[in-house]
Amino acid sequence: MKKVIVIEDQTVLRDLICQLVDGYTDMEVIAQTGCGAEGYEFCLEHRPDLVILDIILPGLSGTEVLRRLKAKSPKINILIFSAATSNNIVTRVLKAGVTGYIEKAARLTELEKAITLVAEGRSYFSPRIVEVMRNLMVNGCEDDPIDALTAREREIVQLIAESNSNKEIAAKLGMSVRTADTHRTNIMKKLGLHDVAALTRWTIANKLVDPNIY
């Protein structure tokens, strides 16, 4: 029985995916969550065979969850299921070693196909994603500004954009307030930004947070 974890912040959609997966005779949803950070911890704890992952998540973005999981378990099968399909996002997840990628505008039958193939360790990219990949091959990809940040800085920049204070960030990440403040200063310098409003706009543009929460 293949173990599956679903990380999706839209409750109705997450329930639908779980029902779909549980309909397979050889798969079982062992954990589900709408939080990126919690989903990452679930994956470390349960070691799933398949992770179905959104990109824009609270706590920790889907791309960061993907990076960290692939760094720890290169053979883990991860299917991105997201409405975010920009060149930067596609480049980001391909670099991280994603197994499959399907956009949320796809039909249910295509999602079923993607789940089946990726659970077996085979790649699946929907036609829209393949089109983006072809364009990237022809035209090349732009430098991704997020590459300038460390893994910890990527986590902190999202927490800042989600309106967490230095004290709250320090508590969540187990660091001192001074260290959190130092990270904030370094992030601003690296990105050439000067205030939280500009940083928030940057995180939205780079699909690290959901613009609908603002």
Give the phi and the psi of residue 51 in degrees, each rounded to 5.
Answer: -120, 125
Q: Does domain 2-139 have CATH number 3.90.1150.10?
A: no
pLDDT at 142 over 70: no
- pTM to 2 decimal places: 0.80
Contacts of residue 64, Cβ cutoff 8 Å, sequence gap at least 6: 36, 151, 154, 155, 158
CATH architecture of the domain with residue range 145-213: Orthogonal Bundle (1.10)
Contact between 68 and 61 (Cβ < 8 Å) = no
Spatial CA neighbour of 50 closest among 96, 2, 11: 2
**Residue in the block written with tokens 């193939």:** 117
Q: Pinpoint the residues of the chain covered by CATH 1.10.10.10.
A: 145-213
What is the model's pLDDT at position 69? 95
What is the model's pLDDT at position 205? 76
- C-alpha dihedral, 93 to 127 to 138 to 147, nearest 10°: -10
What is the model's pLDDT at position 141? 59
pLDDT at 162 over 60: yes
Cα angle, residue 158 at apex, residues 154 and 161 outer, rounded to 5°:
140
Three-state SS string over the chain comes to CEEEEEECCCHHHHHHHHHHHHCCCCEEEEEEECCHHHHHHHHHHHCCCEEEECCCCCCCCHHHHHHHHHHHCCCCEEEEEECCCCHHHHHHHHHHCCCEEEECCCCHHHHHHHHHHHHCCCCEECHHHHHHHHHHHHHCCCCCHHHHCCHHHHHHHHHHHCCCCHHHHHHHHCCCHHHHHHHHHHHHHHHCCCCHHHHHHHHHHCCCCCHHHC
Residue 132: pLDDT band (50, 70, 90) is: confident
What is the model's pLDDT at position 2? 95
pLDDT at 213 over 60: no
- Mean pLDDT across 116-121: 95
Q: Pinpoint the residues of the chain covered by CATH 3.40.50.2300.
A: 2-139
